[in-house]
Amino acid sequence: MFSLPPVTQALIVINVVVFFAESALGSSFISSLALWPLGPLFMPWQVLTYAFVHGGMTHLLFNMLGVYMFGSDLERVWGSRRYLTYYMVCALSAAVAQLIVTAVTGASYPTVGASGAVFGLLLAFAMLFPRRMIMPLFPPIPMRAPVFVALYGALELILGVTGTAEGIAHFAHLGGLAGGFLLMRFWKRWR
């Protein structure tokens, strides 16, 4: 029978509800929740709320597919509380990385989406299930989860450094990876 663990299910539902609220309430609603660079439009809550706002249906679908595919197994292994903590730390570390990059580059655009948190989930999935195979959409070549994460992370770094594929917060993705890695190391040492 098809069932999702409670936090994974709640994250997907909240993201979908916020997406429909975006459509109904318009740009001022989105603007108040999106992560703005440090300055007059930045508000403290944005370091978490941005992860529940998406820039279109495709953006939402891919992020929620990631939450479903990787988050479900992580929540079953870790339990709901640890999983939610991990997810939020990854979203927060992605926001911090993005704030640093926008401060250094002087960019003035908002950031939205759960991609940084999803990158953290992907990293944890690869670390906990290193033998699992993943079939990316492009290229459609099956590969072990750690290989996929390494390639995807390297691609994000290259795209971020070269400025290719503008409009995508590549360093926020890398921030989610880094935050997830550091939290997992902390938990391992603490145990």
Instruction: Give the CA dihedral 92, 88, 156, 70, nearest 10 degrees.
Output: 180
pLDDT for 3: 86
Residue 106: pLDDT over 50: yes
Domain spans in the chain, listed from the N-terminal domain onward = 6-190
Residue range 5-27, pLDDT digits in tens: 999 999 999 999 999 999 899 88
Residue range 37-52, pLDDT digits in tens: 999 999 999 999 999 9
- The amino acid at 186: F
- The amino acid at 28: S
Cα–Cα separations (whole angstroms), residue 40 to 36, 132, 134: 9, 45, 42
**What's the distance, CA 101 to chain centroid?**
17
Q: Which residues contact 115 (CB under 8 A, 6 or more apart)?
A: 63, 94, 169, 172, 173, 176
Contacts from 57-65 at CB under 8 Å and sequence distance 24+?
Answer: 57/19, 59/112, 59/113, 60/15, 60/16, 60/19, 63/15, 63/113, 63/114, 63/115, 63/118, 64/12, 64/15, 64/16, 64/114
Query: Do residues 60 and 16 touch, judged by C-beta distance below 8 A?
Result: yes
Residue 153: pLDDT over 70: yes
User: What is the arithmetic mean of pLDDT over 75-84?
Assistant: 98
User: What is the arithmetic mean of pLDDT over 104-119?
Assistant: 95
CATH number belonging to the domain at 6-190, selected among 2.30.40.10, 1.10.10.200, 1.20.1540.10, 1.25.10.10: 1.20.1540.10
